[in-house]
Amino acid sequence: MTFCRLNPRLPTALATFASAFVLAATLAGCASPASRFYTLSPSGDGARTSQAAAPVGAGNPAWLIELAPVDVPPQVAKTQLVVQTDATQVKVLEQERWASMPGDEIRRALSGDLTRQLNTIDVYGSPHPANVPVYRVSVNVQRFESWPGSHALLDAVWSVRALDTQTVMTCRSVIDEPVGNGYDALVAGHRHAVDALSQSIAHGIRAISDGRAKGASLRCPV
């Protein structure tokens, strides 16, 4: 007759292994979905600029721009996408996020658009030659609304100031871009709205530049 002797530590080891397995399975089941990150930065097919470039001389810009940080409403000043569910309610999306704060995203996109449209350089925070005209651009976003499957709204007050003459143009642009379903489409709508805003600002810079020589009155772009 054969007798088997059980290891007294075996039940404890099995229990420990089972507990670890259950814990790992529980943690895997509770893991948060992966976040997706979006940006408004210009891309090859995202920018729709068609404005003529500003004249240049000897390979240097005819003027420079200085784009200040962009202000956005506090309720959307977060990395999560904030979408409208109706006129009075919003939803904060934890898994749909901006690559940086919305004000930074808008500023970076505007800077890229303006420097390309005007064939110039954004010298904000950098020294620049004293003999080149500099136009300071300020943007205050009043509304930055995201309506999934409907539209993206950008309502901004902006100004352009010639630093040498202190000539100022102050305007308001309200841009409403229709969007399809999905958050990619919503972000693309905001990108197109920022591009349209940059075209209006570029028009203002050209108007002030032309007014230096012609004494023309300044009018906001329609």
- Give the CATH number for residue 160: 3.40.50.10610
What is the count of structural domains for the chain?
1
Angle between helices 183-214 and 102-118 (to 10 degrees): 50
Domain containing 87 equals 63-214
Rounded distance, CA 176 to CA 43, Å?
21
**pTM metric for this prediction:** 0.78
- Tokens 């009018």 belong to 219
Residue 199 falls within a domain, yes or no? yes
Residue 119 falls within a domain, yes or no? yes
Residue 97 falls within a domain, yes or no? yes
Residue 57 falls within a domain, yes or no? no
Residue 45 falls within a domain, yes or no? no
Residue 4 falls within a domain, yes or no? no
Rounded distance, CA 189 to CA 64, Å?
28
pLDDT (tens, 9 = 90+) of the chain, 222 residues, equals 554 554 555 455 545 554 555 455 454 455 567 889 999 986 544 444 444 444 444 457 889 999 999 999 999 999 999 999 998 999 999 999 999 999 999 999 999 999 999 999 999 999 888 889 999 999 999 999 999 999 999 999 999 999 988 999 999 999 999 999 999 999 999 999 999 999 999 999 999 988 764 555 678 887
Residue 197 falls within a domain, yes or no? yes
Rounded distance, CA 209 to CA 159, Å?
14
Cross-strand partners of 172: 157
- Tokens 């003999």 belong to 131
- Tokens 């999905």 belong to 182
Residue 25 falls within a domain, yes or no? no
